[in-house]
C-alpha cells in the first residue's frame, strides 16, 4: 500500500513538473518600446447607405480597448504628438436573415463587417501591422413576442465593435502579427 502511494505521488510530481512551462503570461507589448501614445482617428466608411454611426462605434471601441488593455498606452484622436496610429476602414457592412420562424419571417440575422486595419509607427515611418481583410461576424435575434420586440441591430453592432476592438488590440498589444524589425 505504501509503495502504491509513493508511486502515485512520484507520478503526480513528474506529470505536474512537465507542465510548468505551459502557461507564461504575456508581459511585454508587441509594439516597439518607444510607442507610448497611440492615435486612433475616426475610422473611414466606404459603404453607401451605411448604418448610423457604425464607424464611430468601431473607433470608440478600439480606443476604449486600448485604454483597458494597453498597459499604459495613451490614446488620442489626432496624430499630433502620437508615436503610432491605428487606421481603420469599414469596407462592407451586411446583414441577412439566416433563420426563419414558422411564418417565414427572418428571426435570426447574421451581421458581417469587412474592414482594413493598419498600425503605423509615426516616428520610424514604418508599418507595424496591416490587415486589409479583417472579417467579423455576429448574429442577433428578433423576439417572436410582439410585446417584447425591440430592434437588436444596434446592440449587435455594439457587440461587433467590441469583438473587433478586442481582436485588434490583442493583436497590437500581444504582438501577434507584428512585423519583426529589420536590422
Q: What integer pLDDT is reported at residue 150 of this predicted model?
A: 53
Mean pLDDT along residues 148-153: 56
The two beta strands, 84-100 and 44-45, are: parallel
Q: What is the pLDDT of residues 73-94, one digit of tens each?
A: 899 999 999 999 999 998 888 8
Confidence of residue 95 (pLDDT cuts 50, 70, 90): confident
Q: What integer pLDDT is reported at residue 78 of this predicted model?
A: 92
The model carries a pTM of: 0.68
Q: What is the pLDDT of residues 18-31, one digit of tens each?
A: 544 444 444 455 67
Mean pLDDT along residues 161-168: 85
CATH 3.30.70.3040 at 2-174, yes or no:
no
Half-sphere exposure of 9 (CA within 13 A, CB side): 6
Q: Where are the domains of the chain?
A: 2-174
**Choice between 147 and 77, residue whose per-residue pLDDT is larger:** 77
Q: Is the per-residue pLDDT at 183 higher than 80?
A: no
CA-CA-CA-CA dihedral for 127, 129, 133, 138, to nearest 10: -140
Q: What is the pLDDT of residues 42-78, one digit of tens each?
A: 998 887 655 667 788 889 999 999 988 877 889 999 9
Which of 6-10, 129-133, 147-151 is the most confident on average? Answer: 129-133
**Choice between 138 and 144, residue whose per-residue pLDDT is larger:** 138
Amino acid at each position: 500500500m505504501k509503495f502504491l502511494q509513493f508511486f502515485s505521488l512520484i507520478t503526480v510530481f513528474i506529470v505536474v513538473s512537465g507542465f510548468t512551462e505551459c502557461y507564461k503570461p504575456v508581459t511585454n507589448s508587441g509594439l516597439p518600446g518607444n510607442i507610448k501614445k497611440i492615435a486612433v482617428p475616426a475610422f473611414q466608411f466606404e459603404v453607401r447607405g451605411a448604418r448610423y454611426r457604425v464607424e464611430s462605434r468601431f473607433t470608440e471601441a478600439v480606443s476604449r480597448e486600448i485604454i483597458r488593455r494597453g498597459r499604459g498606452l495613451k490614446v488620442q484622436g489626432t496624430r499630433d504628438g502620437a508615436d503610432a496610429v491605428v487606421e481603420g476602414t469599414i469596407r462592407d457592412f451586411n446583414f441577412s436573415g439566416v433563420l426563419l420562424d414558422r411564418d417565414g419571417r427572418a428571426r435570426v440575422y447574421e451581421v458581417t463587417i469587412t474592414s482594413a486595419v493598419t498600425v503605423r509607427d509615426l516616428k520610424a515611418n514604418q508599418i507595424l501591422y496591416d490587415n486589409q481583410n479583417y472579417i467579423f461576424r455576429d448574429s442577433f435575434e428578433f423576439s417572436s413576442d410582439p410585446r417584447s420586440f425591440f430592434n437588436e441591430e444596434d446592440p449587435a453592432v455594439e457587440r461587433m465593435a467590441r469583438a473587433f476592438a478586442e481582436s485588434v488590440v490583442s493583436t497590437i498589444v500581444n504582438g501577434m502579427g507584428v512585423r519583426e524589425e529589420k536590422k
